[in-house]
Chains A and B, each alone.
Chain A
Amino acid sequence: MDFFDRFAIPHPSLAIYASMVAIVLTVIAIVVGLTYFKKWGYLWREWLTTVDHKRIGIMYLISALLMLFRGGVDALMMRAQLAVPENTLLDAQHYNEVFTTHGVVMILFMAMPFIMALMNFVVPLQIGARDVAFPRLNALSFWLFFFGAMLFNISFVVGGSPDAGWTSYFPLAGNEFSTSVGTNYYMIAIQIAGIGTLMTGINFITTILKMRAPGMTLMKMPMFTWSSLIANVIIVFAFPVLTVALAMGTLDRLFGTHFFTTNNGGMDMLWANLFWVWGHPEVYILILPAFGIYSEVISTFARRNLYGYKSMVASMVIISLLSFLVWVHHFFTMGQGALTNSIFSITTMAIAVPTGVKIFNWLFTLYKGKIEITTPMLYALLFIPLFTIGGVTGVMLGMSAADYQYHNTMFLVAHFHMVIIPGVVFAMLAGLTYYWPKMFGFMLNERIGKITAWTIGISTLVAFMPMFFTGLDGQARRMYTYSESTGFGPLNMVSFVGAIGLAIGFILLVYNVYYSIRYASRDISADPWDARTLEWATHSPVPEYNFAIVPHVKSEEALWDAKKKRHILFQGNYEKIHMPNNSGVPFIMGSIFFIWGFALVFSLWPLAIIATIGILACMAHRSMEIDHGRYISVKEIEETETKLRGAK
């Protein structure tokens, strides 16, 4: 019986039992639905085995939205718990689990796949490529992320969630103080997803460096592609640090080593250092592509070229370098002395300079423009003021002596939410709305879209501005409750109202998707926003080969100049197109990784060994396989093109 005990939730509650039932019912519904509508074959052929960057992008998008709601529910529970003093909605253990999963899910399983979704969908189109450099690897990246995320999520109902914070500081996360398997899930699920991310990094650097359309030099690339390139370079250099840190943490927890323990030489500070050597660049992995989206959106709807292209690129390169030199600012209070703190204080504040350059460049892009406020543009315009608040408070946090007062308080929480929500989430919503017609061939409703944007924008302010004040008043972060005499009550209630507002905003987003699927016109052009870059030069939705003829690029705004200066993008005749074959191996390998991870979480060694052999067998299969891909004939291309042109 002992064997089964460890799978039980150590600290169950009604909510957990309810979600168990909900999960089982959902799975049954999906299985029955797929069987009833005879969609198993379709699902397998068109999605699970696909290596098409566009479909992979859409799968990332769906996962990210699902995870957004999971993390959002966590956030609502937290804000509800803190809305009034001495609330008993959640107890300490549940609250700890909830804020831990909220952080992990939002950063690693929501923001990351959202970025990946847009990068996957947009980058090959923007550079005029047929796919990414390694399509099969790309599919594997997705499935590793997906199964990593799933593994993390089942912790809620099998064995218990991690409860040591998303930073998972040791020794709190070590065996000495954390007895459930929760932190095992953290270590292994993030490891699996992280390997996928690392491979994405390699894939996209190669793609962007080697597969650009003829004529597109580096300094003629659209800004989103530039930002993706730099973000992926950061991925390649930052993620291996996380890999090592997580491996050490796993060894500590599963094999009793003494990397981060309190005895036998273990060093808790090493985890904090390694975590943030990865963690800070990670912030820029998220924010740079978001900046790229804003650059595209602002320039499109200001109807003007992006101001200061070169300084935009330069500032991103400088940010990427500085991002590796600031990690100590996450623990100025660790006692490393005035000199170290001073150095990292200066490097931290220095990041404000290139970031400021970007803000001013966007503002000057509006100058002499013809500004049209569409939904994506509205997100971008809300981003500038809100992000500025988040940014300047970041500079304040960078002053290390003052940071002794901000650290670990709600002030810090307010700061990074004011950076990440306007910076990353708004950008993703802007990108989602902007690229929706390219993905699905119809547009999201503008009216509902604008109401959504306003709801989310204002709610962000209402939810997070009060935290600056409670932080300065001594409310530490991660407290599951507080007494009435602290006086934190009213402002926390305001935050709760803001959180509800955010929830309403995201429900409106879903409603918009539903509404637009039902009512939006399918009769739209390939370029509904009158945009400027190459991805709008092909049909909506995009055929699997992206471009029937490889475009020739002469300027950084290829499509705009084709429209205005009569540059010719597509020359020559159709030729047969080489495409990669679909493959089920990435999906199967991802599933085996899931089993492998599950086996490690619960120390089921025989299963872990079998799974390891399974993974190696997949790799051996890949090594021995002969796959030259396939060709799309000229006739097929002609048929597709005529059909798509007719649909316009």
Chain B
Amino acid sequence: MKIDHSLPLEYSTEENRLKILGFWIFLGAEIMLFGTLFASYFTLVDRIGSGPSGKEIFEITPVLIETIVLLTSSFTIGLGVHAMRIGRKKAMMSFFVITLLLGLVFLGVEIFEFIHYVHIGAGLQTSAFTAILLSTLGTHGLHVTFGLFWGLFILLQVKKRGLTPETANKSFIFSLYWHFLDVVWIFIFSFVYLKGMM
């Protein structure tokens, strides 16, 4: 493989450039996926059947914790990629570890939130509203879960193989994914929770 040293490591080979473009296109598809979920959410939000409405079940505390944790993790992974660009493997790995830990906290709170919903009678089968709410949140949550495993595997590779064009490329793509999940969460926070609580 030809390595172009004038470019950052993650862009340095042709294969890497292809992968980054491909991943951007994948994110385009992901936008459509979440867009469809949001559109369905807005369609079904008032269709609560005999179940509760959003206003009755949303609570601000866990949502705020989730938001802060996820936003911070997006910031730390940015720092991680910066560290990678200046070639500091240790710093990069630390930031990635912090990111994954924050992701884990997010996931924990979200699981707690779900259990709470089911407890108060807003389960998956209650109404069209609860179904789309839990599906939208759940899809995001599954993405985060998947990201945790993916990030872990990348960390292991960076640790073992050092910063090579391949590992740098993987880490960079992972950071794109993680930022994307953050953006989706901002939409969920604003249009599902805040709008629902108002």
Q: Do chains A and B touch in the complex (CB under 8 A)?
A: yes
- A binding-site residues for B, Cβ under 8 Å: 133-134, 198, 201-203, 205-206, 209-211, 236-241, 243-245, 247-248, 251, 255-259, 261, 263-267, 270, 274, 277, 578, 616, 620, 623-624, 626, 628
A236 with B126: CB separation less than 8 A? no
A256 with B125: CB separation less than 8 A? yes
B18 with A237: CB separation less than 8 A? no
Q: Can you list 10 A-B pairs with a CB-CB distance of less than 8 A?
A: A210-B17, A237-B32, A238-B32, A247-B135, A256-B125, A259-B40, A259-B131, A264-B50, A265-B49, A266-B47
Nearest CB on A from B22, distance (A): 4
Residues of B with C-beta under 8 A to A240: 29-30, 32-33, 35-36
Complex CA gap A198/B28 in Å reads 11
A623 with B157: CB separation less than 8 A? yes
Q: Does B98 contact A (CB under 8 A)?
A: no
B29 with A198: CB separation less than 8 A? yes
Complex CA gap A206/B19 in Å reads 8
Pick the contact of A251 from B19, B47, B124 — CB < 8 Å?
A: B124
Q: Does B120 contact A (CB under 8 A)?
A: no
A257 with B26: CB separation less than 8 A? no
Q: Is the interface of B mostly helix, strand, loop or mixed?
A: helix
B29 with A236: CB separation less than 8 A? yes
Complex CA gap A198/B27 in Å reads 12
Q: Is the interface of A mostly helix, strand, loop or mixed?
A: helix
A265 with B124: CB separation less than 8 A? no
Q: Which residue of B lies closest to A209 (CB)?
A: B21
Complex CA gap A210/B35 in Å reads 28
Pick the contact of B21 from A206, A247, A248, A267 — CB < 8 Å?
A: A206
B157 with A255: CB separation less than 8 A? no
Nearest CB on A from B161, distance (A): 8
Q: Does B76 contact A (CB under 8 A)?
A: no
B49 with A263: CB separation less than 8 A? yes
Residues of A with C-beta under 8 A to B43: 267, 270
Known: A206-B25, A209-B21. 14 other contacts (CB 8 A): A134-B18, A198-B29, A202-B22, A203-B22, A205-B22, A206-B18, A237-B28, A240-B33, A240-B36, A255-B124, A256-B125, A258-B131, A264-B51, A628-B1
Q: Does B150 contact A (CB under 8 A)?
A: yes
Q: Chain B, 93-134, contact with A by CB distance < 8 Å: what is the 0/1 string? A: 000000000000000000000000000000011111101100
Complex CA gap A265/B128 in Å reads 5
Nearest CB on A from B140, distance (A): 13
Q: Which residue of B lies closest to A202 (CB)?
A: B25
Residues of B with C-beta under 8 A to A198: 29
Q: Does B37 contact A (CB under 8 A)?
A: yes
Complex CA gap A245/B33 in Å reads 10
Nearest CB on A from B58, distance (A): 18
Q: Which residue of B lies closest to A236 (CB)?
A: B29
B44 with A267: CB separation less than 8 A? yes
Q: Does B149 contact A (CB under 8 A)?
A: yes
A624 with B157: CB separation less than 8 A? yes
B30 with A244: CB separation less than 8 A? no
B33 with A244: CB separation less than 8 A? yes
Complex CA gap A209/B50 in Å reads 52
A257 with B131: in contact, given A244-B40, A267-B47 (CB under 8 Å)? yes
Q: Which residue of B lies closest to A245 (CB)?
A: B36
Complex CA gap A251/B21 in Å reads 33
Nearest CB on B from A634, distance (A): 17
A620 with B25: CB separation less than 8 A? no
Residues of A with C-beta under 8 A to B35: 240
Residues of B with C-beta under 8 A to A626: 166
B33 with A243: CB separation less than 8 A? yes
Q: Does B71 contact A (CB under 8 A)?
A: no
Complex CA gap A241/B29 in Å reads 9
A259 with B128: CB separation less than 8 A? yes
A578 with B1: in contact, given A239-B29, A257-B125 (CB under 8 Å)? yes
Pick the contact of A265 from B26, B28, B47 — CB < 8 Å?
A: B47
Q: Which residue of B lies closest to A242 (CB)?
A: B36
Residues of B with C-beta under 8 A to A133: 18, 22
Q: Which residue of B lies closest to A622 (CB)?
A: B153
The 6 closest A-B pairs by CB, nearest first: A265-B47, A264-B49, A265-B128, A240-B32, A240-B33, A257-B131
Residues of A with C-beta under 8 A to B18: 133-134, 206, 210-211
A258 with B125: in contact, given A239-B29, A623-B154 (CB under 8 Å)? yes
Complex CA gap A202/B20 in Å reads 11
Complex CA gap A631/B126 in Å reads 59
A259 with B132: CB separation less than 8 A? yes
